[in-house]
């Protein structure tokens, strides 16, 4: 789903209930930025503009984390990925087919409010949580990420994520309990 739809919020609940290994592509990218590497500096500029980082970089980071954790994992929950159809194609070709895709449907105006509110209250500054970058992130989401739903139509469940987090999670559980 779009920026601020509640991916991280629902992933916390999914991990607590099902014990999957949570990998967030955004968190992995922010960790790379924090590491101070040359690759990290280039990533920060891209994220600040609300664009997608090159798909090879994201896949490398995800694959490295999966390899570290595969021997003990009960399954992987990958948050914020695939963000464009090509990422899904590449992941399934090089790693393995995915089991399910969850999409959280929230209108743009609610997304903007949630992200700006998080920026005020979370105490964690992000280069992309400002009004200008949110607009760019929304454009990127509609242009690149929304078509992924159609690509995965046989595996994707859409959940309207406007209710409180625990109510949204009740819908998520219906999907995951059926796996």
Provide the minimum distance between the beta carbon of 154 and ligand AP5 in the complex, in angstroms, as a whole number.
21
d(CA 32, CA 100): 27
Tokens for 39?
Answer: 């690759």
Residue closer to ligand AP5 by CB (options 14, 161) is 161
Instruction: Report the DSSP beta bridge partners of residue 158.
Output: 103
In what helix (H) or strand (E) does residue 105 lie, and over which residues does it extend? strand 101-105
Instruction: Report the DSSP beta bridge partners of residue 102.
Output: 157
Residue closer to ligand AP5 by CB (options 9, 157) is 9
Provide the minimum distance between the beta carbon of 90 and ligand AP5 in the complex, in angstroms, as a whole number.
11
Provide the minimum distance between the beta carbon of 89 and ligand AP5 in the complex, in angstroms, as a whole number.
13
- Scan for tokens 């625990």, then name that residue: 166
Provide the minimum distance between the beta carbon of 69 and ligand AP5 in the complex, in angstroms, as a whole number.
18
Q: Which residues are near ligand AP5 by CB under 6 A?
A: 3-9, 25-26, 29, 46-47, 50-53, 58, 80-81, 83, 87, 114-115, 117-118, 128, 137, 161, 164-165, 168
Nearest C-alpha neighbor of 85 from the set 138, 2, 151: 151
């Amino acid at each position: 789903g779009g920026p601020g739809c509640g991916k991280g919020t629902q992933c916390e609940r999914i991990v607590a209930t099902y014990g999957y290994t949570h990998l967030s592509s955004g968190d992995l990218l922010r960790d790379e930025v924090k590491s101070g590497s040359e690759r990290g500096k280039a990533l920060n500029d891209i994220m600040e503009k609300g664009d997608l980082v090159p798909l090879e970089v994201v896949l490398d980071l995800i694959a490295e984390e999966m390899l570290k954790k595969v021997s003990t994992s009960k399954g992987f929950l990958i948050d914020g990925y695939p963000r464009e159809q090509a990422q899904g194609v590449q992941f399934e070709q090089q790693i393995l087919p995915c089991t399910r895709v969850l999409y959280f449907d929230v209108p743009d105006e609610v997304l903007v409010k949630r992200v700006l509110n998080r920026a005020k209250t979370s105490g964690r500054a992000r280069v992309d949580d400002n009004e200008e970058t949110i607009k760019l992130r929304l454009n990127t989401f509609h242009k690149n990420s929304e078509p992924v739903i159609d690509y995965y139509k046989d595996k994707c469940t859409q959940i309207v994520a406007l209710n409180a987090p625990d109510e949204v999670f009740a819908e998520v559980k219906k999907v995951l309990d059926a796996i």
